[in-house]
Amino acid sequence: MKSLRKFAYAAVLTLSAFAIQPTLAAAEDARGSFTLSHEVHWQKCVLAPGDYTFSIKTMGGSEFLTLRPLHGTGSAAMLLLTDVVSPTPDGENKLLLVSRDGQSFVSAMSLPEFDMTLRFAVPPETESAPTTESASK
């Protein structure tokens, strides 16, 4: 009976160590905030003007970007990151917005402090000339 208790105790300690490990890794994830001055489409999500926080978390082998309003509860959006590249050498955190048919779309989020640039899908250009804007974080 004693050996069974020792085995159970060892199993609980081992499982506890695995449960703590993802929490420690999550502490290293990227976080920040930004302000949108107008309505913006971010892939399939539409974000209203306002202040937002973001976090990038690794779960399993995938990375997710979570966007939340600074004032309020819940998530505004959670996006699977599929295109992460090295940042441009300018060293400035920024959102790159493109205009399509009078609407703004996020095409990239440059985060050189975290050594990454995130790229997002935007609708194809129409025959009119595109306009590119930049919004600093």
What's the average model confidence in pLDDT over 16-24? 39
Please, which pLDDT band fits residue 113 given cuts at 50, 70 and 90? Answer: confident
> Which residues, other chains included, contact 131 with Cβ-Cβ below 8 Å and sequence gap of 6+?
98, 99
Say if CB 39 and CB 48 are below 8 A apart: yes
What is the separation, in whole angstroms, between the first and last Cα of the chain? 61
- pLDDT recorded at residue 59: 85
Q: Is the pTM of this model over 0.85?
A: no
Give percent of the chain with pLDDT exceeding 90: 42
Stronger pLDDT, 123 or 3, i.e. the higher one: 123
Say if CB 112 and CB 93 are below 8 A apart: yes
What's the average model confidence in pLDDT over 13-21? 39
pLDDT tens, 77-108? 899 998 888 876 667 889 999 999 999 999 99
Three-state DSSP at 100 gives strand
- pLDDT recorded at residue 32: 93
